[in-house]
Amino acid sequence: MKYDLSHAIINLYPTGAKFVLEGNLYSGLKWFDERPKPTEKELNDKIAELQADYDAKQYQRDRAVEYPSIEDQLDEIFHKGLTEWKKTIQTVKDKHPKPTE
C-alpha cells in the first residue's frame, strides 16, 4: 500500500476533517475545517509513520495467505491433535518470521 496526503489527514483527524485535495500535492489541499490546517511536514511525517507501520507488518500479510482456513485447522486439530496443528502453524511462522526490532 502506498500512503498519501488524504490517508495522513484522515489518520490525524479520525473524527473527520473538512478538506478537498486536488491531486496529491500539499499545494492542492483546500482546508475548510475549523481546526488548524496541518503543515506539510506534519502530513509527510504521518505518511512516513503509516508506511513504516504497514511495511513492518508484511510478515502478517504473508502468513495470513498461507495459513490453512479455520475450518481446515479445526479439522486437523480434531483428527491429528494439537501437536500436529502447532507444527503446521509453526511452519508458516518460520517461513515468514516476525522482524526483530
Could you state, in order of their start, the residue ranges of all structural domains in the chain? 5-56, 58-95
pTM score, whole prediction: 0.77
pLDDT tops 70 at residue 45: yes
Predicted pLDDT of residue 50: 97
- Measured distance CA(61)–CA(64) in Å, rounded: 5
**Contact status, residue 26 vs residue 40, Cβ threshold 8 Å:** yes
SS3 call for 31: strand
Predicted pLDDT of residue 100: 84
- Mean pLDDT computed over 42-49: 97
pLDDT digits (tens, 9 = 90+) for 25-37: 999 999 999 999 9
